[in-house]
Amino acid sequence: MPPNDAGLRQQLLRRKPVSAFRADSEQADHHHGGGLRRTVGTFQLTMIGVGATIGTGIFFTLSTAVPQAGPAVVLSFVFGAVTAALTALCYAELTSAVPVSGSSYSYAYATLGELVAWVVGACLLLEYAVSGAAIAVSWGQYLNDLTQRLFGFTMPDALSAPPGAGGYVNLPGVVLVALCCLLLMRGAKESAVVNTVMVLIKLGVLLLFVVVGVTGFSSANLHPFAPLGIAGISAAASSVFFSFIGLDAVSTAGEEVKNPQRTLPRAIIGALLVVTTFYCLVALVGVGAQRWTLFEGQDAGLSAILQQVTGRNWPGVLLSAGAVLSIVSVTLVVIYGQTRILYSMSRDGLLPPVFRKVDPRSGTPVGNTLIVGAFIALLAAFVPLDWLANLTSMGTLVAFAVVSVGVVVLRVREPHLPRGFKVPGYPVVPVASMLFCLYLIWNLPVDTFVLFALWLLLALGVYFGYSRHHSRLARGGQPAAAREPLPVD
């Protein structure tokens, strides 16, 4: 191999040691105004995970999943939960070993090298930006539904419908993103408190559905239990799995939680247990209260079931309010996660300095938040996002698979590294997690692979044009990053 090729290969595979990540985090802790602040506790962090995961999907997903699986959709949710649990356990170990912001980007940098970390970072940015915009776009529709039920008033489609579906500028989506950015710039603690309140209300609405829905439960509706067989259960599992992908958001808060080596694993596993319990209860009550053949095309989702059970309209109002709050909490957490990943990538020199500048008063990356907010708001306002939905899934699954590989690599390379949590059943769990992710990736449509390839080409262009030369490892030489002070901006 020619010397230049050997040098390039060495650059692409250079790893940032765990000691350097921890040194960055500790230095930020002790340097006034230099970094993020540890203000978030275990309960609030668990609520961040729940808030990012339970979106509007559960309010409406049964209308697409039940026709695929019948009453056995409950097993589809269990299958999705098992897949998510395998990945969550891997996340729990890595967050306890590398308790920093940046999620799977940081874990990839510590285990698989700079180029893989950059690709994972690009996947995460795709996941957060596109899903954030897609969620914000739908806020206008849910607001319209709520105001119609309460006051008989709706905004015109030109301002509230998704672009390409009757809308021209999605004004509610832009307003929502602006409000979330303002809150995030106030501070992580304030954002976490507001999110916790919204998540508890959202869970209360779903609990109301379970309590009221049980009164219309009939075991006859559960027969036949699996009319479309294993194939139907598997197909529905693929579609409902993406109701679990918000758990990644917990790991983006690594530098803003107290006692991260214990808090991060507990919050990830706690969020998964809460989400799984609510999903399975809602699915079971839903198929027990209504014949499975009636779900297809039922746009009103859970509210239609409750109106059928109670014969009244008030459940629709409450569930609409729950959906509106769901979108606010998910959008808040998505923007939060996006900014913390960019913060980590910038601190490593792979992105411009503006993304790592932290306001000394609020302890938040203000410029970073404004840039992310503007980008997501523009996507939400003007871009039809239906065809990008599968791209979000692809980005998420690639990141999940890399986390699973990272657990194995870190165990081999640094077996004595302090870990606040260890994956049970190692190495079976991380390997199974990776295989599940690859299976779900394999089931995605061909056009998703084409779009994903184009996104990666763009990301690689940025890496070779800017990031490779500005990387802190390139400038500082080697793992001396642990001793090297942060560049002063």
What residues contact residue 359 under an 8 Å CB cut-off, 6+ apart? 33, 185, 365, 366
pLDDT of residue 483: 37
Which range is least confidently modeled, 302-316, 392-406, 444-458, 468-482? 468-482
Residue range 204-225, pLDDT digits in tens:
989 988 998 898 888 888 888 9
Confidence band for 478, pLDDT divided at 50, 70 and 90 = very low
Handedness of CA 153, 155, 161, 167 (dihedral sign): positive
- Mind spelling out the 3-state secondary structure of 194-247? HHHHHHHHHHHHHHHHHHHHHCCCCHHHHCCCCCCHHHHHHHHHHHHHHHHHHH
Q: Which domain, by its residues, includes 244?
A: 40-472
Q: Are 109 and 370 contacting, i.e. CB atoms less than 8 angstroms apart? A: no
Say which CATH number the domain at 69 has: 1.20.1740.10
The whole-number pLDDT of residue 428 equals 93
Where residue 70 falls among pLDDT bands split at 50, 70, 90?
Answer: confident
- Quote the pLDDT of residue 26: 67
Summarize the confidence of residues 462-488 as an average pLDDT: 65
Q: Which residue has the tokens 């891997």?
A: 90
pLDDT at 131: 80
Token digits of residue 319: 């569930």
What's the mean pLDDT in 452-472?
A: 91
Mean pLDDT of all residues belonging to the chain: 82
How far apart are alpha carbons 134 and 129 in whole angstroms?
9
The C-alpha atoms of residue 275 and residue 50 are separated, in whole angstroms, by 6
Q: Which two tokens stand for residue 178?
A: 């602006």
- Whole-model pTM? 0.83
pLDDT for 4 = 56
The tokens for 42 are 């275990």
23 part of a folded domain: no
Q: Determine the average pLDDT of the residues in 252-272.
A: 85
Res. 489: pLDDT tops 50: no
Least confident of 18-27, 170-179, 181-190, 338-347: 18-27
- CA separation for the pair 49, 336 (Å, rounded): 12
Q: Helix (H, G, I), strand (E, B), or coil: what is residue 153?
A: coil
Chain segment 337-377, per-residue pLDDT in tens: 899 899 989 988 899 999 988 888 888 888 999 999 999 88
Query: Using 50, 70 and 90 to split pLDDT, how confident is the model at 308?
Result: confident
Residue 113 lies in a domain: yes
Q: Classify residue 481: in a domain, yes or no.
A: no
Query: Which two three-digit tokens encode residue 434?
Result: 């990776």
17 within some domain: no
- Specify the pLDDT at position 369: 92
Whether residue 7 is predicted with pLDDT greater than 70 in this model: the reply is no
Q: What is the pLDDT of residue 9?
A: 62
What's the pLDDT at 183? 92
Non-local CB neighbours of 26 within 8 Å, separated by 6+ positions: none
- Place 3 in a pLDDT band, splitting at 50, 70 and 90: very low
Least confident of 56-65, 360-369, 374-383: 56-65
Question: How many CA atoms are closer than 13 Å to the CA of 421, on its beta-carbon side?
Answer: 24
Euclidean distance between CA atoms 179 and 173, whole angstroms: 10
Q: What is the pLDDT of residue 273?
A: 92
Domain count, the chain: 1
One DSSP character per residue, 59-102 reads HHTHHHHHHHHGGGHHHHHHHHHHHHHHHHHHHHHHHHHS-STT
- With a CB cutoff of 8 Å and minimum separation 6, the contacts of 2 are none
Q: Is 460 a residue whose pLDDT tops 60? A: yes
Tens-digit pLDDT profile for residues 280-307? 999 899 899 888 888 887 666 677 788 7
More confident call, 112 vs 33: 112
Res 34: pLDDT = 56
Residue closest to 16 by CA, chosen among 90, 121, 91, 86: 121
Q: What is the largest CA-CA distance in the chain?
A: 77
- Return the structure tokens found at 184: 């995030």
**% the chain with pLDDT above 70:** 87
Q: Residue 312, by phi and psi: left (phi above 0), alpha (psi -120 to 50) or beta?
A: beta
Average pLDDT over residues 80-84: 84
pLDDT, position 459: 93
Whether residue 231 has pLDDT greater than 80:
yes
Q: Which range scores top for mean pLDDT: 28-37, 215-224, 473-482?
A: 215-224
Looking at the predicted structure, is the pLDDT value of residue 1 above 60?
no
pLDDT above 90 for 125: no
